[in-house]
């Protein structure tokens, strides 16, 4: 490239950049920048009108300063001025500034949109592209509102230049991703699909990204793209490496387009048309064949491009999951990559094989690579590759190889990186349970886990082993013996003490016959660990002791003495003290019979899906865990197994073996068990049906906008809602869960709505849209009445719509000084609302943050001097007025309490937000 115009002569900019680079310290840099900012400010404010060149130069300097990481709060207007310059470079810099430093000032946006409009209608392709790039870079809703109608027209118009079409396609994609409701393809659909046939490869490459996104959202409307995509792919795959000229990349014809075509096909099931399908299978076979050919170049770019297509083809083969021959070939190809010298390929092969392992056609083929994968786990130098190997071992595990895989994972755990230990522990625990034929192996494995990686064994894991031991009497004696032996180690992990305490408390009698593990020996062993343990473990041990008194009357005197000692009965921890006092009293006044009844062996736990699996799913995100429990019980409903049912009713997090204070989990689990135990995993469990106005759904939506509002045996109501300033739009989805149609379906709201379809077919869903405008602040929510006939019977449901005042929050960012100043300004007593309340859920930081953000306020960091506290700020937008709101939440983890303080310029608002939010924690 000739050195025509690099930097195009902005000498001032080059000098400034050099100055910054020459700064010896951060302070010097900041000083230089401040000097420059002052200079630019004075130029912009000066009386003399600046010429275009100077404006461009200063705007460019501001941009540079911003990209260095400094805040820029002026210059937007000058940049906007540049947009209407008739000099291309000035316009270009103006657009760049706008793209990087978007500003939500509405006056500016109007000016920007005007400039864009002019350029779009200029018929000058270079200007049109600039304008389209700007829209694509900003992608805001305002721009979508202004241009979503115009761009499809440009995209399909016959006289549009290719380069403009390319920009228009991707511009539209960005707008669609940001505001799908504003981009309506309708009449353009078929012409957009036909861009796949365009002569210009660049146009196809750009358009296919748009088509893929649209197809994944509306597969039916775009399904004609399948046959077009197949024929395009087939032409590329069969072309010689020179046919496509500059679209050939290191001897690979059109690799980007090929990958995108294969990706588009993954939005659809295998083609139904036999000819199309045949052609596609041929393409896939050709791609697999090419992988075996000698490379046309030694460059890594060549093999990367070629393999990118291969991996995408394998993804498609896995997606179809219907061609055993192709699946096995894919597996063999990946098997070769497992031993490749390129780390990248080994990584991808391990990753891709994970999905192959879950297909019934290729599961066995994947298993043949077990030794290579185990070797990878042991020898790979990069932890991310080892992680993939561990994932694959997990995915390929079945009854035939479980013992080998679990043993390898356990031995790997001893040296595993800290970052992946917790996940490994979960996986071992799951596999051990799932494939346990004899449960003594299971118990051994879990105790080994605790021994090797005790710190990473979460509650779910040790709860689960106890649950299983309680439920299977064939393993109880073995468990007691093994745990007793494990406790002999001078330093054993606290989790081991927990499991040991629980199991010996229940089943210590099964090994008491051996003098080496007589009751007193058992007790002394447990008690030797007592003082090293945390409060919850000590609480558990105290419960084990009282159980001992029942199991072994001969230990009663010793244990009573322990309970009576000052360190127990006067313990400063109220839970421990209470247990010591109660247990002591119980053991001295209750008759043997009463004692035996109260302290009876725990009844079996109801069968549930393992909560460990739920935890792993949560850790890895949805879809990452492809293996389900083999004897998978009810899916989706993962109730946290919880051996301490009183946890939700008392603030103490201590384990209790007795369940004296509330119903013990009985074998025939009462229906209330689900609501009693806090379900920490499922996001929004369907709430129980209730007569009258249904309230509990309402409260779940204070901090979120989408989800299931209501569900009973017949009907499910889902909600999607969005809010901007004082306006909102709510989509209600009424789903008929039965196979019979609902007639005279009718909903009334104590505000106006459009009516819904009076018929809801069985299994179908109808939608209703409600537009909401907030006129002034309010407390009562709109009431929704739903009436319909289901097989003759009239159904009547009343619901509070989850429209709450906080939905109209606009978050406000502010610095600490501003925050405290405003806080002080709102110091009149009626402006403040405060509540002190007990935590009814866990106090996890991330969850708290998510809820506060969901409330709609900005979460301000580094404002409150106490880092444990949270402060937020926002403005509630109503038509009548804006109400500024400040919030402070002070958690006290020890007491499991919160103090919530709201201050706003309007007393009713403070009170309402405070009331709503107090229910959320």
Partner 1 sequence: MQFMLLFSRQGKLRLQKWYVPLSDKERKKISRDLVQTILARKPKMCSFLEWRDLKIVYKRYASLYFCCAVEDQDNELITLEIIHRYVELLDKYFGSVCELDIIFNFEKAYFILDEFLLGGEAQETSKKNVLKAIEQADLLQEVCGLCPR
Segment 269 to 328, residues that bind partner 1, using CB under 8 A? 301, 304-305, 307-308, 311-312
Q: Which runs of consecutive H residues, i.e. helices, occur in 23-104?
A: 26-45, 52-67, 76-83, 88-100
23, 32, 41, 64: residue in contact with partner 1 (rule CB under 8 A):
64
Closer to partner 1 by CB, 123 or 585: give it.
Answer: 123
81, 113, 114, 126: residue in contact with partner 1 (rule CB under 8 A):
126
Q: Which stretch binds partner 1 (CB under 8 A): 248-256, 371-379, 452-460, 901-909?
A: 248-256
23, 178, 826, 897: residue in contact with partner 1 (rule CB under 8 A):
178
Q: How far is the CB of 616 from partner 1 (least distance, A)?
A: 15
Burial class (CB in 10 A: 0-12, 13-18, 19+), 862: exposed
Q: How far is the CB of 897 from partner 1 (least distance, A)?
A: 30
**Distance from C-alpha of 233 to C-alpha of 629, rounded to nearest angstrom:** 39
Residues 6+ apart with CB under 8 A from 121: none
Q: How far is the CB of 442 from partner 1 (least distance, A)?
A: 30
Say if residues 811 and 869 touch (Cβ distance below 8 Å): no
Q: How far is the CB of 684 from partner 1 (least distance, A)?
A: 20
Q: Which regions of 725-826 does DSSP assign to beta strands (E)?
A: 727-736, 742-749, 765-773, 783-790, 793-800, 809-811
Segment 622 to 651, residues that bind partner 1, using CB under 8 A? 623
Work out whether 137 is an interface residue with partner 1 (CB under 8 A).
Answer: yes
Closer to partner 1 by CB, 182 or 759: give it.
Answer: 182
> Can you tell me which residue has the tokens 């689960």?
464
Segment 514 to 553, residues that bind partner 1, using CB under 8 A? none
Size of the site for partner 1 (CB under 8 A): 80
Q: How far is the CB of 535 from partner 1 (least distance, A)?
A: 34
Say if residues 729 and 750 touch (Cβ distance below 8 Å): no
**Distance from C-alpha of 514 to C-alpha of 474, rounded to nearest angstrom:** 19
Closer to partner 1 by CB, 72 or 569: give it.
Answer: 72
Say if residues 732 and 719 touch (Cβ distance below 8 Å): yes
Work out whether 246 is an interface residue with partner 1 (CB under 8 A).
Answer: yes
Say if residues 164 and 157 touch (Cβ distance below 8 Å): no
3, 49, 240, 491: residue in contact with partner 1 (rule CB under 8 A):
3
Work out whether 384 is an interface residue with partner 1 (CB under 8 A).
Answer: yes
Closer to partner 1 by CB, 13 or 902: give it.
Answer: 13
28, 30, 38, 67: residue in contact with partner 1 (rule CB under 8 A):
67
Residue 156 has, within 13 A of its CA and on its CB side, a CA count of 16
17, 669, 678, 850: residue in contact with partner 1 (rule CB under 8 A):
17
Segment 78 to 107, residues that bind partner 1, using CB under 8 A? 86-89, 92-93, 96, 100
Residues 6+ apart with CB under 8 A from 700: 684, 687, 707, 802
**Distance from C-alpha of 854 to C-alpha of 702, rounded to nearest angstrom:** 8
What is the strand order of the sheet 707-711 is part of? 707-711, 715-724, 727-736, 765-773
Q: Which residues are annotated as a binding site?
A: 11-12, 43, 53, 57-61
Q: How far is the CB of 349 from partner 1 (least distance, A)?
A: 11
User: Which pair of structure tokens corresponds to residue 171?
Assistant: 């511009």
Q: How far is the CB of 61 from partner 1 (least distance, A)?
A: 11
**Distance from C-alpha of 15 to C-alpha of 33, rounded to nearest angstrom:** 13
Work out whether 812 is an interface residue with partner 1 (CB under 8 A).
Answer: no
**Distance from C-alpha of 257 to C-alpha of 30, rounded to nearest angstrom:** 46
Work out whether 816 is an interface residue with partner 1 (CB under 8 A).
Answer: no
Closer to partner 1 by CB, 79 or 410: give it.
Answer: 79
Q: How far is the CB of 95 from partner 1 (least distance, A)?
A: 9
Closer to partner 1 by CB, 171 or 475: give it.
Answer: 171
Say if residues 315 and 293 touch (Cβ distance below 8 Å): no
Q: Which stretch binds partner 1 (CB under 8 A): 133-141, 353-361, 400-408, 705-713?
A: 133-141
DSSP state for residue 673 in the 8-state scheme: H
Q: How far is the CB of 791 from partner 1 (least distance, A)?
A: 43
33, 37, 40, 60: residue in contact with partner 1 (rule CB under 8 A):
60
Work out whether 249 is an interface residue with partner 1 (CB under 8 A).
Answer: yes
Cross-strand bridge partners of residue 499: none
**Distance from C-alpha of 737 to C-alpha of 714, rounded to nearest angstrom:** 5
Q: Which runs of consecutive H residues, i.e. helices, occur in 713-860?
A: 816-825, 845-855
Residues 6+ apart with CB under 8 A from 676: 645, 648, 662, 663
Report the SS3 class of residue 121: coil
Containing 209, the helix (H) or strand (E) segment is helix 201-217
171, 487, 612, 677: residue in contact with partner 1 (rule CB under 8 A):
171
Work out whether 655 is an interface residue with partner 1 (CB under 8 A).
Answer: no
User: Which pair of structure tokens corresponds to residue 336?
Assistant: 């070769």
Closer to partner 1 by CB, 312 or 609: give it.
Answer: 312
Q: Which stretch binds partner 1 (CB under 8 A): 345-353, 490-498, 685-693, 785-793?
A: 345-353
Burial class (CB in 10 A: 0-12, 13-18, 19+), 547: buried
State CA 88 to chain mean position distance.
44
Segment 179 to 238, residues that bind partner 1, using CB under 8 A? 201-202, 205-206, 209
109, 131, 136, 261: residue in contact with partner 1 (rule CB under 8 A):
136
Work out whether 243 is an interface residue with partner 1 (CB under 8 A).
Answer: no
Q: How far is the CB of 88 from partner 1 (least distance, A)?
A: 4
Q: In this structure, what are the phi and psi dihedrals at residue 456, rounded to the nearest 5 degrees?
A: -100, 0
Closer to partner 1 by CB, 305 or 468: give it.
Answer: 305
41, 117, 133, 787: residue in contact with partner 1 (rule CB under 8 A):
133
Q: How far is the CB of 919 from partner 1 (least distance, A)?
A: 28
Work out whether 353 is an interface residue with partner 1 (CB under 8 A).
Answer: no
121, 122, 238, 379: residue in contact with partner 1 (rule CB under 8 A):
122
**Distance from C-alpha of 52 to C-alpha of 72, rounded to nearest angstrom:** 21
Q: How far is the CB of 844 from partner 1 (least distance, A)?
A: 17
254, 276, 714, 781: residue in contact with partner 1 (rule CB under 8 A):
254
What is the strand order of the sheet 793-800 is part of? 693-694, 793-800, 783-790, 742-749
Q: How far is the CB of 59 from partner 1 (least distance, A)?
A: 10
**Distance from C-alpha of 290 to C-alpha of 292, rounded to nearest angstrom:** 5
116, 128, 143, 170: residue in contact with partner 1 (rule CB under 8 A):
170
Q: How far is the CB of 46 from partner 1 (least distance, A)?
A: 24
Q: Which long-range contacts (CB under 8 A, 24 or more apart) does 210-215 make?
A: 210/169, 210/170, 210/172, 210/173, 210/176, 211/264, 212/260, 212/263, 212/264, 212/267, 213/173, 213/176, 213/177, 214/176, 214/185, 215/264, 215/267, 215/268
Q: In this structure, what are the phi and psi dihedrals at residue 542, rounded to the nearest 5 degrees?
A: -60, -40
348, 539, 801, 872: residue in contact with partner 1 (rule CB under 8 A):
348
């Amino acid at each position: 490239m000739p050195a025509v115009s690099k930097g195009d002569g902005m000498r001032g900019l080059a000098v400034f950049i050099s100055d910054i680079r020459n700064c010896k310290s951060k302070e010097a840099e900041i000083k230089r920048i401040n000097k420059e900012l002052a200079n630019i400010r004075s130029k912009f404010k000066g009386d003399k009108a600046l010429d275009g060149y100077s404006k461009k130069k200063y705007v460019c300097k501001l941009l540079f300063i911003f990209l260095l990481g400094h805040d820029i709060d002026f210059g937007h207007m000058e940049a906007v001025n540049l947009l209407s310059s008739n000099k291309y470079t000035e316009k270009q810099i103006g657009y760049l500034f706008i793209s990087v430093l978007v500003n939500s000032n509405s006056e500016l946006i109007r000016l920007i949109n005007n400039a864009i409009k002019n350029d779009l209608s200029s018929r000058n392709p270079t200007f049109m592209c600039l304008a389209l790039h700007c829209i694509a870079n900003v992608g805001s809703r305002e721009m979508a509102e202004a241009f979503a109608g115009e761009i499809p027209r440009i995209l399909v118009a016959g006289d549009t230049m290719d380069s403009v079409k390319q920009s228009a396609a991707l511009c539209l994609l960005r707008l669609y991703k940001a505001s799908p409701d504003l981009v309506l393809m309708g009449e353009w659909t078929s012409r957009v699909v036909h861009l796949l046939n365009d002569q210009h490869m660049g146009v196809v490459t750009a358009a296919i990204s748009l088509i893929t996104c649209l197809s994944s959202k509306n597969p039916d409307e775009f399904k004609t793209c399948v046959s077009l995509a197949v024929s395009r792919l087939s032409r590329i795959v069969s072309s010689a490496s020179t046919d496509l000229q500059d679209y050939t990349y290191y001897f690979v014809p059109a690799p980007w387009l090929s990958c995108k075509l294969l990706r588009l096909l993954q939005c659809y099931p295998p083609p139904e048309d036999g000819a199309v399908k045949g052609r596609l299978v041929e393409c896939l076979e050709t791609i697999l064949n090419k992988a075996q050919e000698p490379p046309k170049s030694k460059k890594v770019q060549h093999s990367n491009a070629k393999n990118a297509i291969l991996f995408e083809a394998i993804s498609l083969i896995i997606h179809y999951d219907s061609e055993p021959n192709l699946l096995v070939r894919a597996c063999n190809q990946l098997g070769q990559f497992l031993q490749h010298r390129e780390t990248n390929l080994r990584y991808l092969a391990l990753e891709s094989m994970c999905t192959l392992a879950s297909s019934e056609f290729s599961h066995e083929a994947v298993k043949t690579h077990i030794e290579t994968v185990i070797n990878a786990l042991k020898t790979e130098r990069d932890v991310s590759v080892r992680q993939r190997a561990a994932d694959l071992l997990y995915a390929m595990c079945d009854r035939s190889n479980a013992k080998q895989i679990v043993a390898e994972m356990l031995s790997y755990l001893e040296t595993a990186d800290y970052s992946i230990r917790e996940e490994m522990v979960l996986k071992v625990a799951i596999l051990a349970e799932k494939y346990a034929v004899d449960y003594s192996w299971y118990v051994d494995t879990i105790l080994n886990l605790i021994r090797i990686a005790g710190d990473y064994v979460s509650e779910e894991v040790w709860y689960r082993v106890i649950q299983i031991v309680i439920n299977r009497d064939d393993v109880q004696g073995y468990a007691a013996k093994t745990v007793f032996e494990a406790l002999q180690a001078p330093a054993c992990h606290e989790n081991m003490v927990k499991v040991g305490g629980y199991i010996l408390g229940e089943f210590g009698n099964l090994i008491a016959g051996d003098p080496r593990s007589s009751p007193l020996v058992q007790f002394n062993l447990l008690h030797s660990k007592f003082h090293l343990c945390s409060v919850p473990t000590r609480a558990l041990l105290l419960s084990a002791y009282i159980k001992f008194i029942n199991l072994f009357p001969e230990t009663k005197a010793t244990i009573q003495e322990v309970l009576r000692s000052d360190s127990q009965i006067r313990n400063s921890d109220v839970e421990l003290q209470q247990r010591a006092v109660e247990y002591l009293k119980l053991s001295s006044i209750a008759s043997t019979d009463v004692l035996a009844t109260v302290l009876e062996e725990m009844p079996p736990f109801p069968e549930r899906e393992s909560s460990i699996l739920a935890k792993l799913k949560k850790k890895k995100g949805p879809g990452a865990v492809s293996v389900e429990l083999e004897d998978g019980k009810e899916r989706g409903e993962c109730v946290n197994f919880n051996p301490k049912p009183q946890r939700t009713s008392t603030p103490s997090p201590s384990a209790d073996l007795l369940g004296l204070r509330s119903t013990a989990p009985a074998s025939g689990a009462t229906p209330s068990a689900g609501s009693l135990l806090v379900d920490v995993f499922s996001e929004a469990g369907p709430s129980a049906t209730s007569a009258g106005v249904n309230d509990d759904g309402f409260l779940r939506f204070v901090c979120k906008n989408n989800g299931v509002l209501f569900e009973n045996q017949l009907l499910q109501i889902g909600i999607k809602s969005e809010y901007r300033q004082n306006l909102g739009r709510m989509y209600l989805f009424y789903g008929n869960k039965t196979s019979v149609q609902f007639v005279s379906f009718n909903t009334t709201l104590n505000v106006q709505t459009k009516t819904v379809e009076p018929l809801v077919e069985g299994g179908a869903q109808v939608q209703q849209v409600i537009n909401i405008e907030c006129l002034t602040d309010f407390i009562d929510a709109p009431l929704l009445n739903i009436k319909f006939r289901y097989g003759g019977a009239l159904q009547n449901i009343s619901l509070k719509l989850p429209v709450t005042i906080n939905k109209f929050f606009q978050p406000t960012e502010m610095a600490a000084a501003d925050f405290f100043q405003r806080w002080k300004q709102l110091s009149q007593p009626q402006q403040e609302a405060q509540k002190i309340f007990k935590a009814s859920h866990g106090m996890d930081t991330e969850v708290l943050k998510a809820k506060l953000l969901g409330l709609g306020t900005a979460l301000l960091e580094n404002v409150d001097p106490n880092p444990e506290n949270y402060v937020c700020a926002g403005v509630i937008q109503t038509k009548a007025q804006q109400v500024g709101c400040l919030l402070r939440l002070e958690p006290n983890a020890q007491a499991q309490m919160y103090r919530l303080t709201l201050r706003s310029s309007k007393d009713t608002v403070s009170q309402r937000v405070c009331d709503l939010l107090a229910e959320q924690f």
